[in-house]
Structure 1
Amino acid sequence: MLPRLARRLLVVLAVGGLLTAAAGAASAAPVRSAAGMQVSTITTGLQVPWDIAFMPDGRALVTERPGRVRIVGADGRLAPTPAATLAVSASGEGGLLGVAVDPQFAAGAPFVYLYLTTGGQVQVQRHRFAGDRLTLDGVVVSGIPAGDVHTSGRVRFGPDGALYLGTGDTGDGDLAQSPSSLAGKILRLPPGAHRNPAPVMPQVVAIGLRHPQGMAWQPGGPLFVTDHGASGFDGPSGDDELDAITPGGNYGWPLVRGANHGPYAAPAALWTQTIAPAGLAFVTQGGSTWTGNALVTGLAGQQLRRLTLSGTRVIADEPLLVRAHGRLRAIAEAPDGSIWVGTSNRDGRGSPRSGDDRLLRIVPPAGGPPAGAPAPTPTRPRRTICVPDPRARAARGLARTVLERRLLKSQRVAQRALRSIRTVEARAQGAPLRGVRCRTTPDPVRFSARQLLISQRITQAVIHRTAVVRARLADRPPPAAPRRTLTVKDIVAGPRQMRINERIAIAALKRVRALDARISGGELA
């Protein structure tokens, strides 16, 4: 038997070793990729994974809408036995939805909070986690209206220690404005109220929301939520929103929609063409060019949007993973700095692929501020402005023949397409947009083979650059640049060649505009 002093020394060393290991794990640099964004599959065979929450030991709890809570290890292994299987009302958009882990989980409060529909209503339940199993410990909130649609479902703890939840309008827009209903609102339980033995009546933080599914706090900033716009039965489809939540704010649904909300709170960003924004997470850890950015998952859009903000204003919007994995819903930043995303192809509105649904792991690209540094403040981009060239007007006055006027018009269309593709390239890369100068040749416009060849080369460059952007969005290698085989000697200056030039220029402009609509998914507010 070891002497008492030796035993104490071993205990001290063991505890010290555990603390050192824990400190090392906590201070480990977040994972980053020097080769750009990297995407891999964590696990497959899930059924509509709706939300993700990480426990202090690095494992994740994943809710499946039919009523199961699954455990996924930090190594990506899916535990074969669910932590819980709950009786839920899984019709329509209901079921087991959001999940949140108690902020004091490791300090004697091993509770998990679940947002679900049951018995014709929405409840937030508190469950105790022990032995990899969840057991009901109490109902935190009850009596929230439920419906076949717009049940919302996100539940999150804020930086203030309070529990927040988003509720949908259940398909009845009037409830979002009704002071007597908890539907269509952002709700809050004061710190500590989530452990009350009896249900608590939540405070109303904001009203006038349709279906706010995404919820996350900007580092050092306010709460943001994503809100689905109308989808046909309650108005023309479109006008999805990203909203910066102000306590007491009214976000206007169903009274207003679009960018101009008049007396109501306007969105920080607006997608006029629906992407069905479902999940929202901020990249809070350093060492990445994404640090400080917001990531929004899209269901109908089948994509991930990376938003750059200046304060509460979105200044860049980059689409990622467009149609690469189908409908995307759940999203969370893991303790190691990677981003976990869940597909939702088995929710009745998608096209399941082999292995669906699945969890994806995204390693953000390296760069930006080092780990532990504050997120950078993005510079505000200039609007895309076409600065008129005073020489262009003189050039137009010099076009005298019909063919010369048509040539000048064809050149203007080609140059407009060139300006547009520059804007599209900047938007696709999330780069600042800069003013460009309208340039029309100041020389006397003569209908000649040389001028026709110049116009052709401009449009060919636009078509090639459009194809490069399309290939990058589809994760395909870019096409090779076209070889300049035509020379002035090959061009026959005449009406037939003029018609060819006009058609190519117009086709190039149409391609750019179609690509612009696909990338932007609607204009930002």
Structure 2
Amino acid sequence: MRRPAVLAVGALLALAACSSGSGSEPDAGREIGVTVSAEPDVEPTASAGASGTAPRVVGTIATGLDAPWGLAFLPGGDAVLTERDTASVKVVAAGTGEVETVGTVGEAAPQGEGGLLGVAVSPSYDQDATLYFYVSSATDNRIVTATLRDGRLGPTTPILTGIPLGQIHDGGRLAFGPDGMLYASTGETGQPDLAQDPDSLAGKILRITPTGEPAPGNPSGTAVFSLGHRNVQGLAFDGDQLWASEFGASTSDELNRIDAGANYGWPAFEGTGGTADGFVDPQATWDTDSASPSGLAYADGALWMAALKGNRLWKIPVTSSSDGSGADQQAGTPEEYLVGDYGRLRTVVPAPDGTLWVTTSNRDGRGRPGPDDDRILQVSPTG
């Protein structure tokens, strides 16, 4: 169900967010939260927000998953899914929702918040059948590729290694941009100063070529595209504009509009207030009970953000410049839906049919799973 939003947008307000910021406690990654995820007898309904019709869960695609993390669609309509703790790669069939395990990523060493995390599909998948994975190995976080042919995952090939590894704050989201480059989010592994270290890949958003080299035009000539991040777990493109959802520490979870070379302030600033020091303020902030943001998607003129501890789906309308050029996108007032109905929500992805696929994350050690968890929910963004 929907409740009135009490959040700040841009620099208007910064409410209290993520719990421990010390990086030394088991819940310092602040994904933790109490969940109640039993299937409702009747599908929850919600009143419309200011931006229009309320989204609605119209079905369950798959059940019985184990801490699903990454989700991406193949050209034919099937979806590729990763499970963080089993290191399994699964394919979810279009139409039927049948789930088949096609392989595992052997170099994944699940621990803490790490494991087999994000997945992205090659823009030229029809020719190269290549998938990209963000993997926590025994020694580092890394990006690897593997082919998917005849229903089987091939061996992995590392294309970028040496991303710092931690029990917490490992980032992990992958997304190809409209420029054909691969964007990856990393965390600062509980060591805040790494976010401001230009020589470290931690606490950054990276931009690389499909073969793992620094992408042409990156501000510093390295793989780093933006810096000053604590733990980004959501990436989404609205046209050419990149957005990111980010865990805060003790005051503010964030939605950031990402621009090349920009510094988003962590650990000097959390939430708003850093512009005088040359940092970029978030477009929206949340408190700890209503967010802990992970996955992010853009569809139907809005960003859709999955909340872990918040146990809800956020809709954030996006507006562009008045001249219709699409430039200078701004986040509008956030609206909350599915509050407490399905427990922890991890990933949200636009499906080819115009719906959203939203995964629960109640079996990740920080939730209270129901008998069908974890699940992929099918959500109509227009009700």
Instruction: Tell me the TM-score normalized by structure 2.
Output: 0.78
Tell me if 1:193 matches 2:211. yes
Q: How does 1:414-425 map to 2 (within 5 A)?
A: none
Quote the Cα distance in structure 2 between the aligned partners of 1:240 and 1:137: 34
Aligned-pair CA distance for 1:36? 6.1
Correspondence 1:204 to 2:224: yes
2:82 to 38, 55, 63: 63
Give the aligned partner of residue 340 of structure 2: 323
User: Equivalent residues in 2 for 1:32-181 (5 A)?
Assistant: 37-66=56-85, 67-106=87-126, 108-181=127-200
The offset of 1:75, in angstroms, is 1.6
C-alpha displacement of 1:79: 3.1
Is 1:335 aligned to residue 352 of structure 2? yes
2:301 matched to 1:282? no
CA contact under 8 A between 1:39 and 1:361: conserved in structure 2? yes
Aligned partner (choices 256, 263, 275) of residue 243 of structure 1:
256
Deviation, structure 1 residue 119: 2.0
Secondary structure (helix, strand or coil) at the match of 2:72 reads: strand
- State the distance in 2 between where 1:358 and 1:188 align: 31
Counterpart Cα distance in 2 of 1:313 and 1:52: 26
Q: Match for 1:299 among 308, 311, 329?
A: 308
Letter in 1 for 2:149: A
The one-letter amino acid of 2:312's match is Q
Residue 265 in structure 1 maps to residue 253 in structure 2: no
Alignment of 1:429-508 (within 5 A): none
Q: State the 1:138 CA deviation.
A: 1.6
Cα distance in 1 between the residues matched to 2:81 and 2:61: 12
Cα distance, 1:91–1:136 mapped onto 2, change above 3 Å: same
RMSD: 1.9
Check 1:140–1:87 CA distance in 2 against 1; reply closer, same or farther (3 A cut).
closer
Whether contact under 8 Å (1:98, 1:153) holds in the other structure is: yes
CA distance in 1 between partners of 2:164 and 2:262 (Å): 21
Q: For 1:269 and 1:173, locate their aligned partners in 2 and report how far apart those are by CA, in whole Å.
A: 21
1:141 match: secondary structure: strand
SS in 2 for 1:305: strand
Supply the distance in 1 between the matched residues of 2:56 and 2:179 (Cα, whole angstroms). Answer: 32
Partner secondary structure for residue 187 of structure 2: coil
8 Å Cα contact 2:70/2:347 also seen in 1: yes
Name stretches of at least 5 consecutive residues in structure 2 with no aligned partner: 1-52, 215-220, 321-328
- 3-state SS of paired residue (1:329): strand
TM superposition shift of 1:136: 2.1
CA, structure 1 residues 113+298, in 2 after alignment: closer, same or farther (shift >3 Å)? same
Q: Check whether the contact 1:51–1:98 (CA below 8 A) recurs between aligned residues.
A: yes
Could you say what secondary structure the match of 1:83 adopts?
A: strand
SS at match of 1:136: coil
Distance, in Å, in 2 between the alignment partners of 1:88 and 1:35 is 39
Structure 1: state its 5+ residue gaps: 1-33, 231-235, 284-290, 367-525
CA distance in 2 between counterparts of 1:325 and 1:308 reads: 23
Alpha-carbon shift at residue 202 of structure 1 (Å): 5.3
CA contact (8 A) 1:68 1:86 kept: no
TM-score, normalised via structure 1 length: 0.57
Q: Is the 8 A contact 2:62 2:99 kept in 1?
A: no
Pick the structure with more strand per residue. Answer: 2
Distance 1:180 1:353, change over 3 A: same
Aligned length: 313
Inter-partner Cα distance in structure 1 for 2:293 and 2:246: 7
CA drift of 1:364 comes to 2.4
The Cα of 1:89 is off from its aligned counterpart by 1.5
Distance 2:58 2:101 in 1: 27
More helix by share: 1
* 1:256 paired residue number: 269
CA contact (8 A) 1:125 1:136 kept: no
CA offset at residue 85 of structure 1? 4.8
Counterpart residue identity of residue 93, structure 1:
E
Letter in 2 for 1:47: D
Residue number in structure 2 paired with 1:445? none
Distance in 1 separating the partners of 2:58 and 2:342: 11
Give the 3 Å change call, closer, same or farther, for CA 83–77 of structure 1 in structure 2: farther
Query: Secondary structure of 1:267's match?
Result: coil
